[in-house]
Amino acid sequence: MMENLVSNWFDGGILPDSYVLPPEKRPGKLIFPVAKMIPVIDFENHDRRSTIHQILEACQDYGLFQVVNHGVPRDLMDETMNVMKKFHEMPTKDKASECSKDPERSCRFYTSSENYTSEKVHYWRDAVIHHCDPLDDYMQFWPENPTAYREVVGQFTIAVRKLASLILDLIGEGLGFNPGHFGGEYSKKPMLLVNHYPPCPDPSLTLGLAKHCDPSVITIILQGDVPGLQVFYDEEWFVVEPLAHAFVVNLGYILQIMSNGKLKGAVHRVVTSSTVARTTASLFIYPSEDSVIEPQTALVNASNPPLYRAFLYKHFSTKYISATADAKTVEQFILKTSTDDHDGHGDVDDNLDLTK
């Protein structure tokens, strides 16, 4: 499989058939409108109420926003981008061996997706993913080369997790949840994904990452200065504009469910470029495996019956992976059906299907 890394065999040739998407999934055109309507929220505005208001509006409308002056040092963002690029420039066998230190596979290197062998079409991306909490347990399995990787990426994950928890506190406050609502089990399993999208022979026929909504609570993305990330809004694709030293924040399915649909998960994808390589980092905030995910009682009442059923996070994530993020399959899994009870009080025992 490793000989198939997209960073390996681009030689200016034509796009192999195995990367050509069916017509309805292709980007087709190469120029897309920029998502100028997506809010860019300044965290140095010290008016907490106004910040919360801006975040909630963005999460209701788009499920996605950008943050600037967020407290993560610019040097650290630049150093992280550099070390991630250097990692992906290394020879394949080095990348593979740097990511196979843990027999439990808490750090993994793959191309296209984790379903490479079973997927119908491949995507133009190489990736490293690893756990980052507790840092001391997992860092020993991260790449040791480039030499700065552990130090820099370690600091980066600490800083970005701090930002994520601030954002979750603000969202929780805006939704009327108790302070610290997202602090424990719902943020237990952060993972860092380092994506690399090399120049591609034909960006109109393929994607770096398929249309999806993340299986996370929220995801914080460092996208650098190369465009590629797009958000689906009003049945159209828009470019999420690269802004210097900003982070893109997108909501995943879990926050959509917990907010009972008040906030929405962003549907997004990544297009490739024929001229420039693109490297990004996504920090996913995931709940613990045994967390019960359901609409939170503060948002459920007689006029707002629960839209989603209760389930264990691990059952959701198994479904998400086996369905390769297919929106219809995931929706079938999360939506309450007409046969579920609609009394507006989430009854975990009734709704929790432990068999799925």
112 binds ligand OGA (CB under 6 A): no
Query: Nearer to ligand OGA by C-beta: 254 or 310?
Result: 254
| Closest among 294, 269, 154, 281 to 219, alpha carbons compared | 281
Query: Nearer to Ni ion by C-beta: 300 or 330?
Result: 330
Distance CA 68, CA 170 (A): 16
Q: Are strands 40-42 and 64-68 parallel, antiparallel or unpaired?
A: parallel
Residue list 172-231, contact with Ni ion (CB under 5 A): 214
- State the nearest-atom distance from the C-beta of 96 to ligand OGA, in Å: 20
- State the nearest-atom distance from the C-beta of 286 to ligand OGA, in Å: 12
- State the nearest-atom distance from the C-beta of 156 to ligand OGA, in Å: 15
What burial letters (b/e) apply to 162-174, b meaning 16+ CB within 10 Å? ebbbebbbbbbbb
| Closest among 259, 279, 292 to 89, alpha carbons compared | 279
Q: Which of 221, 258, 293, 312 binds ligand OGA (CB under 6 A)?
A: 221
- State the nearest-atom distance from the C-beta of 16 to ligand OGA, in Å: 22
246 and 40 in contact (C-beta within 8 Å)? Answer: yes
From the list 5-13, 18-26, 80-88, 223-231, the region that binds ligand OGA by CB under 6 A is: 223-231
Amino acid at the residue 3: E
187 binds ligand OGA (CB under 6 A): no
| Closest among 326, 321, 334, 261 to 293, alpha carbons compared | 334
Distance CA 232, CA 288 (A): 28
Residue list 281-320, contact with ligand OGA (CB under 6 A): 282
Query: Nearer to Ni ion by C-beta: 126 or 214?
Result: 214
Distance CA 206, CA 20 (A): 5
Tokens found for residue 152:
């820099």
229 binds ligand OGA (CB under 6 A): yes
Q: How many CB atoms lie within 10 A of CB 29?
A: 10
219 and 285 in contact (C-beta within 8 Å)? Answer: yes
Residue list 4-63, contact with ligand OGA (CB under 6 A): none
- Of all helices (H) and strands (E), which one includes residue 90? none
Query: Nearer to ligand OGA by C-beta: 210 or 300?
Result: 210
Tokens found for residue 59:
């999460």
Query: Nearer to ligand OGA by C-beta: 168 or 213?
Result: 213
* Sign of the C-alpha dihedral computed for residues 308, 314, 317 and 319 taken in this order: negative
Q: Which of 76, 193, 243, 298 binds ligand OGA (CB under 6 A)?
A: 193
Binding mask 277-296 for Ni ion (x = CB under 5 A): --------------------
Q: Which of 280, 291, 296, 317 binds ligand OGA (CB under 6 A)?
A: 280
* Cβ contacts of 21 within 8 Å, gap of 6 or more: 121, 205, 206, 207
Query: Nearer to Ni ion by C-beta: 310 or 330?
Result: 330
Contacts with ligand OGA by CB under 6 A: the residue count is: 12
Contacts with Ni ion by CB under 5 A: the residue count is: 1
Q: Is 91 exposed, middle or buried (0-12, 13-18, 19+ CB in 10 A)?
A: exposed
- State the nearest-atom distance from the C-beta of 287 to Ni ion, in Å: 17
Residue 157 binds which entry of ligand OGA, Ni ion, none, CB below 5-8 Å type-dependent:
none
Distance CA 150, CA 145 (A): 8
| Closest among 332, 328, 336 to 306, alpha carbons compared | 336
- State the nearest-atom distance from the C-beta of 355 to ligand OGA, in Å: 29
Binding mask 231-270 for ligand OGA (x = CB under 6 A): -------------------------------------x-x
Binding site for Ni ion (CB under 5 A): 214
Contact positions vs ligand OGA (CB under 6 A): 193, 195, 209, 214, 221, 223, 228-229, 268, 270, 280, 282
